Amino acid sequence: MESQTETTVRRQRRIILFPLPFQGHINPMLQLANLLYSKGFSITILHTNFNKPKTSNYPHFTFRFILDNDPQDQRISNLPSHGMGAFNRLFVFNEHGHNELRHELELLLALEEDEQVSCIITDALWHFSQSVADSLNLPRLVLRTSSLFCFLAYASFPVFDDLGYLNLADQTRLDEQVAGFPVLKVKDIIKLGFKSSKDPIGLMLSNMVKQTKVSSGIIWNSFKELEEPELETVCRDIRAPNFLIPFPKHFTASSSSLLDQDRSFFPWLDHQPPNSVLYVSFGSTTEVNEKDFLEIVHGLVDSKKSFLWVVRPGFVKGSSWIEPLPDGFVGEWGRIVKWAPQQEVLAHEAIGAFWTHNGWNSTLESVCEGVAMILSPFMGDQALNARYMSDVSKVGVYLGNVWERQEIAKAIRRVMVDEDIRENARVLKQKANVSLMKGGSSYESLESLVAYISSFSF
């Protein structure tokens, strides 16, 4: 799967990439960086020290650390490194990062090298970087790490707020259809967890939407056939060119993993029958309380299906790992690990389904490997991704956060045998594969992205 890098190419153009420092954002940005490197560009990655990438896995890139190099800066040094508090960095950097980013870019642009800097590509949530790039006349492209569908919903927040969805007093409206989004119910919007379009998160998302719209181009980790109606809307509403490329089809995210990946279960997995094992993982930031954890445990046992379960340290609130697990629970039924090479697991023929929180990377990795899902979104875009996978793509069983053993066991038994869902998942994978062939939508998108970036003369 890994694309060949062309080490003999004489590189004449450099691209600066600036990911958000969280796993679900680092992975797609470094996949994109690998892809652009394979197309002949030199790569500089700007990054914070917090959650810093394993630079040794990328000897062919240049890394520059910015925004939190000063240990005396108490706006940052006092922030927690784990849990939701860690995300407060986004507010601080977006508010105070302008001068430092500008200074860093000036240095990079002044370097006397054979190569020319073509553009900067930043995570869409670094909305402050648009004015920095503008002030230097440097084209800024945006990487949006979630779906087009999610972007359109975020762009509608002010309308949702006016309609009272974000802070709903009347519980009878939960099943009401969302204005402009027939596939969504008001309860899906509530699940986003945002109380107002004017609170700090609402404002950050609205700035993200605004600055994405005025960027020089938008790169989406997706493909046309997955979100065709949404692409039409985006192209109608936004002048900037759009490029849809399913990164997991080009590179796995293994080399940008912040946690060490356990591979010790592969001999066990290799011995399981095809399509027999449920893979369970809820991403890099989610948490459950001990009671819900035990319901998951019992649901897995009651389903009588084999499983491979990623329980990230810190997933169970108040425990360092799996201390609440009853003795003798796992047995020969399954394996529990702290972190796994997820895409390799999804590609394994023994895997029959994926119980996921629907972070967009996990969702797209599952789609790209043709694996049916159980959909249990926790917060934010996950709720939108899950609804789309269940009601539009029809590749999953919607469970939600129903931490109730019978319901869990029922969902597991269903996803492992529901032939319609499983066939839809296979067809979607096939569409992704076809899109990569010469003349296919993803192939053409990548080619036009490369041509577009090459056309900048700075």
Active site residues: 25, 123
Stretch that binds ligand UDX, among 204-212, 238-246, 353-361, 440-448 (CB under 6 A): 353-361
Q: At what angle do helices 405-417 and 290-303 cross, to 10 degrees?
A: 40
Does the protein bind ligand UDX through residue 27 (CB under 6 A)?
yes
- Report the nearest approach of ligand UDX to the CB of residue 254 (Å): 7
CB 354 within 8 A of CB 327: no
Name the residue nearer to ligand UDX (CB basis): 248 or 440: 248
User: Which of 108, 155, 186, 253 forms a contact with ligand UDX (CB under 6 A)?
Assistant: 253
Does the protein bind ligand UDX through residue 120 (CB under 6 A)?
no
Name the residue nearer to ligand UDX (CB basis): 212 or 257: 257
Closest listed residue to residue 207, CA positions, set 131, 125, 310:
125
Contacts of the segment 201-207: beta carbons below 8 A, 24+ positions apart: 202/157, 202/161, 202/166, 204/90, 204/91, 204/94, 204/125, 204/127, 205/154, 205/157, 206/154, 206/157, 206/158, 207/94, 207/127
User: Which of 243, 339, 354, 388 forms a contact with ligand UDX (CB under 6 A)?
Assistant: 339
- Report the nearest approach of ligand UDX to the CB of residue 356 (Å): 7
N- to C-terminal Cα distance for the chain? 34
Separation of alpha carbons 439 and 228, rounded Å: 17
Name the residue nearer to ligand UDX (CB basis): 255 or 319: 255
Stretch that binds ligand UDX, among 24-32, 183-191, 413-421, 440-448 (CB under 6 A): 24-32
Name the residue nearer to ligand UDX (CB basis): 342 or 424: 342
- Report the nearest approach of ligand UDX to the CB of residue 35 (Å): 15
User: Which of 44, 51, 130, 145 forms a contact with ligand UDX (CB under 6 A)?
Assistant: 145
Stretch that binds ligand UDX, among 161-169, 267-275, 340-348, 402-410 (CB under 6 A): 340-348
Q: What share of the chain is helix, strand, coil (3-state, %, to 5)?
A: 45, 15, 40
Write phi, then psi, for 412 (nearest 5 degrees): -65, -45
Does the protein bind ligand UDX through residue 340 (CB under 6 A)?
yes
Does the protein bind ligand UDX through residue 369 (CB under 6 A)?
no
Does the protein bind ligand UDX through residue 365 (CB under 6 A)?
yes
Separation of alpha carbons 402 and 295, rounded Å: 9
Closest listed residue to residue 235, CA positions, set 246, 249, 224:
224
CA distances from residue 310 to 281, 283, 313, 414 in whole angstroms, order as listed: 5, 9, 9, 21
Over the window 282 to 301, marking each residue x when it contacts ligand UDX by CB under 6 A and - when it does not, the resulting string is -xxx----------------
Stretch that binds ligand UDX, among 228-236, 291-299, 301-309, 336-344 (CB under 6 A): 336-344
Separation of alpha carbons 110 and 261, rounded Å: 39
Stretch that binds ligand UDX, among 23-31, 135-143, 327-335, 450-458 (CB under 6 A): 23-31
Does the protein bind ligand UDX through residue 222 (CB under 6 A)?
no
Closest listed residue to residue 149, CA positions, set 326, 383, 336, 338:
383
Residue 307 identity: F
Does the protein bind ligand UDX through residue 281 (CB under 6 A)?
yes
- Report the nearest approach of ligand UDX to the CB of residue 127 (Å): 16
User: Which of 310, 371, 384, 425 forms a contact with ligand UDX (CB under 6 A)?
Assistant: 310
- Report the nearest approach of ligand UDX to the CB of residue 188 (Å): 14
Name the residue nearer to ligand UDX (CB basis): 105 or 310: 310
Return the HEC string of 362-399: HHHHHHHHCCCEEECCCCCHHHHHHHHHHHCCCCEEEC
What residues from 370 to 389 belong to the interface with ligand UDX (CB under 6 A)? Answer: 380-382
- Report the nearest approach of ligand UDX to the CB of residue 110 (Å): 34
Closest listed residue to residue 371, CA positions, set 387, 393, 399:
393
Separation of alpha carbons 393 and 298, rounded Å: 29
Other CB atoms within a 10 A radius of the CB of residue 207 amount to 16
Structure tokens at 260: 């060490």
- Report the nearest approach of ligand UDX to the CB of residue 9 (Å): 28
Pairing label, strands 181-185, 177-178: antiparallel
User: Token pair 């900048």 is at which residue?
Assistant: 456
- Report the nearest approach of ligand UDX to the CB of residue 84 (Å): 11
User: Which of 38, 257, 390, 393 forms a contact with ligand UDX (CB under 6 A)?
Assistant: 257
Name the residue nearer to ligand UDX (CB basis): 226 or 253: 253
Size of the site for ligand UDX (CB under 6 A): 26
- Residues lying near ligand UDX in the complex (CB under 6 A) are found at 22-25, 27, 145-146, 253, 257, 281, 283-285, 310, 339-340, 342-343, 359-362, 365, 380-382
